[in-house]
Amino acid sequence: MSKEEVLNYFYTNSTEYGVKRTLVILLCGLAVGMIIYLTYYISSEKIVYDRKFNWSLVIMHLITVIVMMMISSNIAVSLGMVGALSIVRFRTAVKDSRDTMFIFWAMAEGLCVSSQNWRLTFTSALFIAAILILSSKVPGVRNKYLLIVNGEGQAIDRKQFEEKLKPFVTGFRMRTANKDADHEEMICEITTKGEINLEVLDALLSVPGIQSVNWVAQSGETVG
C-alpha cells in the first residue's frame, strides 16, 4: 500500500458529526456533568466548599467529550491530537486525594459519553454518585479528636486530668508534651462515641494548673 493510499484510507474512513448529533452528545455530557457536580457538592466534607473546582470538573468532562469526538471522527486528526496532547504538562498539585478521584471520574465519564454508550454512561454515573454520597453520610463508629491542654503558673495535676477525661472518652494517648519553667502543654489523641462535648471542657478547666483547653476534630491525616 502506497503512502497516498494510506492517507486516502485515513481521510475516507472518518465519521462526520452533524450539528444536531453534536448537540445531543454535548447535552447528554452536560447532564452527566451535572450529576458529577451535584455529587461533589453534596458529598463535600471540606470546611470551605470549592465552587470553582466543582465547575472545573464539569468543563473538563465536556472537554474530554469534545477531544474524543475529534479523535473518533478522523483518524488523521487523532494522530495529531496524540502528538499535541503529549507535550502538555499540568503542574497544578492536587492536595486532596478525593479531588483526584473526581478528576478521573469526570474523564472516564467523558470517554463513555463520546462513545455514545448511554446505558453504561448513566448507569455508571448514578451508581458511583450514590456510593460517594452514601459514604460521605455514614457516620463513624468512633470519633477522633486532638485535645490541646495549656497550663501556666503551676504544674498540671495529671492524675485529676485523666480522671476528669475518662468518663467521656473510649481511648486516650499522649502525642506531645512540652514544658518549661512557666508553661506546660499537652497534645492528646482521644476517641469518643459522640461529638464534641462542652461539658468536658468545663470539667478539664477545673483541674489545677490548666489555663486553656482546645478540642480539635481530626479526620485521617488532616486536622479541621
CATH code for the domain of 156:
3.30.70.260
The tens-digit pLDDT sequence of the chain (224 residues) is 566 665 565 555 556 677 888 899 999 999 999 999 999 998 886 656 788 889 999 999 999 888 888 777 666 566 566 655 665 566 666 677 788 889 899 989 998 998 888 999 999 999 999 999 888 777 654 577 888 888 877 778 888 888 888 888 888 888 888 888 778 888 888 887 666 677 778 888 888 888 888 887 765 544 44
- Domain end (from 91, 109, 137): 137
Residues 58 and 152 in one domain: no
Give per-residue pLDDT as tens, 53-79: 899 999 999 998 888 887 776 665 665
Say how many domains are in the chain: 2
What lies within 8 Å, CB to CB, of 153 at 6+ separation is 182, 209, 211
Residues 109 and 131 in one domain: yes
- The parent domain of residue 102 ranges over 3-137
| Pairing of β 210-219 and β 222-223 | antiparallel
Does pTM surpass 0.85? no
